[in-house]
Structure 1
Amino acid sequence: MGADSVQHLAEAIERMPLVDHHVHGMLPDPTEADLLGALTQAEHAASPADVFDSAQGFALRRHCAPLLGLPAFASRDDYLAARGALGPDEVARRLLRASGVAAYLVDDGHRPDLLMADERMARLAGAPTHRVARLETIAETVLAQSASGAEFADRLEPALEQAAADAVGFKTVAAHRCGLDLDPSKPTSIELRSAADAWFAETAGHAASARPGASARPRLTDPTIIRHLIWWALERGAVLQVHAGFGDADLVLERANPSRMQPLVAATAGTGGRIAFLHCYPYVREAGWLAHVFPHVFLDVGLAVGFLGANADSVVRESLDLAPFSRVLFSTDAWGVPERVLLGARLWRDAAARVLGGYVEDHGWPIDEAIRVAEGIAWRNAEALYGRAFVEA
């Protein structure tokens, strides 16, 4: 196998449509501070140096700048000026369409009040959006509308079923709320009602002592209720996306290790549901091992790819260590700004071409087999997992 074969592989990957199986919405009119904040997982206000002088920042200046009419590696000041001159819709249109993403599966749970409507995002992207319902957000909405813990417990399942009517799957942020080291047993109805009563009483107490104008939205951290939500989704045969690995500063990283969830993964193996571990960094190999030993487990390395920039090869390669290739997915986990979509797509294509090209050149893989593996990750595995066509034939 020579350079021509590797080039053929890279060109094939470049042409592939992508299904972004986990993404968020876009801010309608982001300020410079919004842009910087969306390009970091930190909670403190990001400085331009924090964002642009990083692996992600160099990748942004290389790949996004030319799409805004600038030379590659344009200065951050020039980039910000060009972004402002073009306006948010034109920037989003250029970057989203250049990504080659053919369909977006949108998590509706993280600050949806700040984001543009999915219909507007779809119009700018030239690609359809499909909803992924966040379990904790549904439960929090139900509790806010309930007069007691008992009423919450009674109203929860109808609300979940209503959400399921127009959702392609569900997501849990248990890693952020209580950690993934969950009791594997399905909560009994008595346990659920007891936890609901305790949560309602806690929330009522917080509301009574809250400062005027403070948010009254309840925050679900109770592991019993979260386990109930997980079991409910999996027993109805749904796809359950599970955040794993790094994210915002409100999680304890070691408790977001997907291997912590092994007992619950094993206990739910016969439910008919599927678990898709999202992002996983730095626990990509642990997630790959779970996919290796449990046939209902899938994974992606979405969030990490965009942040790692030129180092993205490492997580793309690790995602292929142990997991069956048919259970590795593509995502960006972009939130707020289209740069994250473009970088997630661009960096995955480049890393996949290099990693799989190495398998062709150094290990004799047939070129058509390498293309088949890449195409699976790009979009075919998502279509098989979610049971619907996202890419037009």
Structure 2
Amino acid sequence: MGAVHDTLAELRLVDHHCHGVVAVDLDRADFESLITEGERWPGSGISPFDSPVGVAVRRHCAPLLDLPRHAPAEAYLARRAELGRREVDRRFLAAAGVEVFCVDTGFGPADLTGDAFGTYETYEIVRLESVAERVAADGVEPDEYAGTFARAARDAVARPGVVGVKSVAAYRTGFDLDPARPAAADVTQAARRWLLRGGRLDDPVLVRHLLWTAVDLGLPLQLHTGFGDNDIRLHRTDPTLLTDWLHLTAGTIPVLLLHCWPYQRQAAYLATVFEQVYLDVGLTLHYVGPARARAVVAEALEITPFRKLLYSSDAYGVSEFHWLGALAFRRGLGELLQDRVDGDELSLPDALRIARWAGADNARQVYRWPADS
């Protein structure tokens, strides 16, 4: 396989963006709902197991449960239930070879420290929309919203173990926003509309205010871009729509573009021309599976500076995605770099350095680990 593959196989990864796993055993319906960004369609004859990610689970996860490769879905789920979630999680986390997890605690299962995860180093990423929505739920006057949200956000990031913040503006409004910091009067007026209406934070003025609050907090900011469930409007999640905002925020905080597909080339452009921009292709890799991981990584790295690519799994709900994300990343990056070494387009020392950077060192450089604070 080559020295690059060997280095990546042994490298303890830093997963700079993921979620927790569910703390209950899963039946077929529950499991299928967690391995798709779409929905289950009962009666349609369409199953998430009959998709690239479902095939990848049966091919690459089944052997870790003592099953043959390509085990049928029924056999896979029966074996998973027989072992129980704690043993399943232990096996997949051990196989993933991740040393550090940065966990977005703002959506779904948040616990990545209990049960099988207790031996791993974990840090927290604060989702700012969740902070804003808690402020609204607790009750606040429109003219006090901006200050109350700022204080709540500062309190949230002051918790032990917090190393960054995240926004899901891509889901709520998309990125085709006025890039300027909104005036205080506009924030108050928008807060009045939102607080009367209730619901999710999806007012464009308040989303802009949230992004600028992230700048004020001074921590790395993760931004969902590209691929997600059907709540997004994909054409509004192209990260190049952030270009003017990135100009205005140059010299402030690192901005980490998550997932990116099908905009990994656009994200690569931004990482090339803006010092503060970084990217990953997490989530994408376990959905395309190890068979297509190289193609996605290759497009992400066509022009990206090598200190700008990070590893993430974006694993959510099931521990299989921690394993599949790590496997696809190691395989995709390893094949790409090894072929460049074999073709004399890259020296072996350079390739090994790039592998270590992308797998762990770039994340350590971007985030403020508690030991470095």
User: Fold conserved (TM > 0.5)?
Assistant: yes
* Alignment gaps of 5+ in structure 1: 1-5, 204-217
Aligned alpha-carbon RMSD (Å) = 1.7
Whole-Å separation in 2 of the counterparts to 1:152 and 1:235: 16
Indicate if the aligned counterparts of 1:36 and 1:48 stay in contact, CA closer than 8 A.
Answer: no
Deviation per residue, 1:307-358 (Å, 9 max, x gap): 0011111111111111111011000111100011110001111111111111
* Alignment gaps of 5+ in structure 2: none
**What's the counterpart of residue 186 of structure 2?**
191
What's the CA shift for 1:147? 4.3
**What's the counterpart of residue 142 of structure 1?**
135
Question: 1:167-182 alignment to 2 at 5 Å?
Answer: 167-182=162-177
**What's the counterpart of residue 49 of structure 2?**
52
Indicate if the aligned counterparts of 2:223 and 2:256 stay in contact, CA closer than 8 A.
Answer: yes
Question: 1:340-379 alignment to 2 at 5 Å?
Answer: 340-379=321-360
Indicate if the aligned counterparts of 1:288 and 1:320 stay in contact, CA closer than 8 A.
Answer: yes
Amino acid at match of 2:149: L
Amino acid at match of 2:23: P
Whole-Å separation in 1 of the counterparts to 2:63 and 2:89: 14
Whole-Å separation in 1 of the counterparts to 2:361 and 2:57: 28
Is 2:229 the partner of 1:248? yes
- The correspondence for 1:383, drawn from 339, 364, 367, is 364
Indicate if the aligned counterparts of 2:32 and 2:40 stay in contact, CA closer than 8 A.
Answer: no
Is 2:158 the partner of 1:165? yes
Amino acid at match of 1:316: V
- The correspondence for 2:5, drawn from 10, 13, 23, is 10
**What's the counterpart of residue 101 of structure 1?**
98
Identity %: 39
Is 2:150 the partner of 1:153? no
Deviation per residue, 1:246-272 (Å, 9 max, x gap): 1010100000010111111111113x2
Deviation per residue, 1:138-190 (Å, 9 max, x gap): 00010011143234333111100011112210101001000011211011211
CA 1:116–1:83: 2 relative to 1, 3 Å: farther
Whole-Å separation in 1 of the counterparts to 2:208 and 2:96: 36
- The correspondence for 2:27, drawn from 7, 26, 31, is 31
SS at match of 2:283: helix
Whole-Å separation in 2 of the counterparts to 1:185 and 1:24: 31
Indicate if the aligned counterparts of 1:234 and 1:274 stay in contact, CA closer than 8 A.
Answer: no
What TM-score do you get using the length of structure 2 for normalisation? 0.94
Question: 1:196-211 alignment to 2 at 5 Å?
Answer: 196-203=191-198
Question: 1:254-333 alignment to 2 at 5 Å?
Answer: 254-270=235-251, 272-309=252-289, 310-333=291-314
Deviation per residue, 1:76-102 (Å, 9 max, x gap): 111111001000111011101110011
Whole-Å separation in 2 of the counterparts to 1:43 and 1:78: 22
Question: 1:80-99 alignment to 2 at 5 Å?
Answer: 80-99=77-96
Whole-Å separation in 2 of the counterparts to 1:125 and 1:285: 37
What TM-score do you get using the length of structure 1 for normalisation? 0.89
Whole-Å separation in 1 of the counterparts to 2:83 and 2:117: 14
Amino acid at match of 2:313: T
Amino acid at match of 1:139: A
Whole-Å separation in 2 of the counterparts to 1:314 and 1:224: 38
Indicate if the aligned counterparts of 1:153 and 1:193 stay in contact, CA closer than 8 A.
Answer: yes
Amino acid at match of 1:87: G
SS at match of 2:228: coil
